[in-house]
Amino acid sequence: MKIKWYGHAAFRIETEKGVRIIIDPYQSGAYGGSLSYGSIKDEADIVIVSHDHDDHNYTREIKGGFELVKDAAEREIKGVKIKGFPTFHDTSSGKERGKNLMFLIEADNLRVLHVGDLGHILDSQKISELGRVDVLLLPVGGYYTIDANEATSIMESIKPRVTIPMHFKTEKCHFPISEVKSFLEGKKNVVFLDSPEIDITDRTLPESPTIYVLKYAL
């Protein structure tokens, strides 16, 4: 499985059989130019949207006859199992920023969890419902989502083998959120990749939980 980080919360997953999944595509230039990652114009078989905000739901430029997934119903598309888990974008049951869906994607004997714009800590029941998570795509920037400390707590509760941080401040994201270094402080097994992409299989998962920091692609 290849996992590519476009930037912000947008990822592209390609399975060993060539199924292409794009998650939370942003609108380039959204929010008055505060989000200036390049446009996502790749082809996809599946597009997943965690919630309807411009930095997560822009599908207009994506090519291919993709199937759009934006609800929690459990389904299988082209051999990929997908299940949504309802959560909130804030700590007030959605009163501030609305609802959010976490998506568990299962393919190639791997279970990948993209938590969208999660805005609160997960309780033990939700952690139990998720089951095994091999790869966790986790917002760490705070303000609009969980912050570095909350992200750490969630990562430690879920216990993934691989964590890839997302939704943090960069030179192409001028939101009032923190840089990734706030999340990484004091952490062990942190690997900085000089690439936006990582290739993971069930045979090459690290023995110890590892955080991989990718370079944004666009």
Q: Over the chain (218 residues), what is each successive 10-residue block's mean pLDDT? A: 98 98 98 97 98 96 98 98 96 88 98 98 97 98 97 98 98 98 97 98 97 98
The pLDDT of residue 96 is: 86
The pLDDT of residue 97 is: 85
**What token pair was written down for 157?**
């509760």
The pLDDT of residue 98 is: 82
**What token pair was written down for 153?**
């707590």
User: How far from the centroid of its chain's Cα atoms is residue 115's Cα?
Assistant: 6
CA distance 199 to 4: 9
Domains in the chain, please, with CATH? Answer: 2-213 (3.60.15.10)
CB distance 54 to 31 below 8 Å: yes
Whether the model clears a pTM of 0.95, i.e. scores above it, the answer is yes
Query: What's 199's DSSP letter?
Result: E
